[in-house]
Amino acid sequence: MRNDYLIAPNPENAALTRIVAGMDHGGSACEIAVVEERPLTIFLNSQEIVTVMTIGDFPEYLATGFLRNQGMLQAGERPDSVDYDEELQTVVVRTRRATDYEAKLQKKTRTSGCAVGTVFGDIMESLDGLVLPDATVRTSWLYRLAHKINTTPSLYLAAGAIHGTVLCKADRPLVYMEDVGRHNAVDKVAGWMVSNNVGPDDKILYTTGRLTSEMVIKTATMGIPVLASRSGFTAWGVELARELGLTLIGRMRGKRYVCLSGEDRLVRDADAAGIADEDRRLHRKGALDD
């Protein structure tokens, strides 16, 4: 199954987790695997844009996707160069076009908390007039995707405390990114798409995280018409998805899910009665992590 992916999680990568000694509930010494979390500072041309906390894989994709999802790289624009300096923990993205987001960065509309990271007003403006592509989503794909993704070896299953986002095409998961922040995981997917010139029209985005306004905005910014999650919704996430014409599917567990927006893209070809309930073993380790 692993071979289906273009990029899959690599829980064996020793740089991404660390074994930490502690005490368990019985007072016995124990060792557990915990995910890494490192600062990465992103530059656009000569301007320092942001410092994000990341697990540290795919810094180039993260930087490129972050800038794209912030509207600092335009749709269709590919960077001239993307240079990662491991020692300085920086990525410098260079574009042919001169950029100046100094004014934008000084706007006080910083967002905070988990629903974070975009200069909201600007983003909403940039989505004005956005039309997401027609697409059909077979419900049989959704079940196969959920099953494949949930049974893929991942840092989530190995160490917990991490989010996953998967770019899919029909019933095939293509690129499965994980990160300590779910926005980073999405941004890494976006960066992969920009860097490899991959179009969004026939794609489905799957996330382990909640379907908040920000997740909806990022998915729409990427041009992807369908966003699915095993987690729940926020009211504004639903409202925005409906305004943007995004298909929004949540609470996917076993045979169950709920579609709260863009229902018209669904083709109901799956027989839910034939789908098994979720294997409880999938809930181990990080299952309740945020």
**Binding flag, residue 32, a second copy (CB under 8 A):** yes
**Binding flag, residue 2, a second copy (CB under 8 A):** no
Interaction mask 37-76, a second copy, x per CB under 8 A: xxx-------xxxxxxxx-----------x----------
Among candidate residues 233, 242, 232, 231, the one with its CA nearest the CA of residue 132: 242
Provide the minimum distance between the beta carbon of 284 and a second copy in the complex, in angstroms, as a whole number: 10
**Kind plus residue range of the DSSP H or E element containing 143:** helix 139-150
Angstrom distance (rounded) from CA 178 to CA 156? 8
Among candidate residues 182, 178, 188, the one with its CA nearest the CA of residue 214: 182
**Binding flag, residue 97, a second copy (CB under 8 A):** no
**Binding flag, residue 184, a second copy (CB under 8 A):** yes
Angstrom distance (rounded) from CA 126 to CA 37? 31
Pairing mode, if any, of strands 203-207 and 163-169?
antiparallel
Give the contacts of 216 (CB within 8 A, at least 6 positions apart).
227, 237, 240, 241, 244, 246, 248
Angstrom distance (rounded) from CA 184 to CA 260? 25
Provide the minimum distance between the beta carbon of 3 and a second copy in the complex, in angstroms, as a whole number: 27
Angstrom distance (rounded) from CA 269 to CA 138? 6
* Region near a second copy per CB under 8 A, out of 3-11, 71-79, 156-164, 165-173: 156-164
Provide the minimum distance between the beta carbon of 1 and a second copy in the complex, in angstroms, as a whole number: 22
**Binding flag, residue 213, a second copy (CB under 8 A):** yes
Hey, which residues between 258 and 287 contact a second copy (CB under 8 A)?
A: 258-261, 263, 266, 268, 272, 283, 285-287
**Binding flag, residue 257, a second copy (CB under 8 A):** yes
Nearer CB in complex with a second copy: 68/163: 163
Provide the minimum distance between the beta carbon of 285 and a second copy in the complex, in angstroms, as a whole number: 7
Note every long-range contact of 231-237, with CB atoms under 8 Å and residues 24 or more positions apart, other chains counting: 231/207, 233/258, 233/260, 234/115, 234/210, 236/212, 237/210, 237/211, 237/212, 237/213
* Region near a second copy per CB under 8 A, out of 81-89, 102-110, 125-133, 194-202: 102-110
Provide the minimum distance between the beta carbon of 212 and a second copy in the complex, in angstroms, as a whole number: 6
Compute the C-alpha angle 119/120/125, nearest 5°: 105
Provide the minimum distance between the beta carbon of 213 and a second copy in the complex, in angstroms, as a whole number: 6
Q: Identify the residue among 8, 36, 90, 174 touching a second copy (CB under 8 A).
A: 36
Nearer CB in complex with a second copy: 3/128: 128
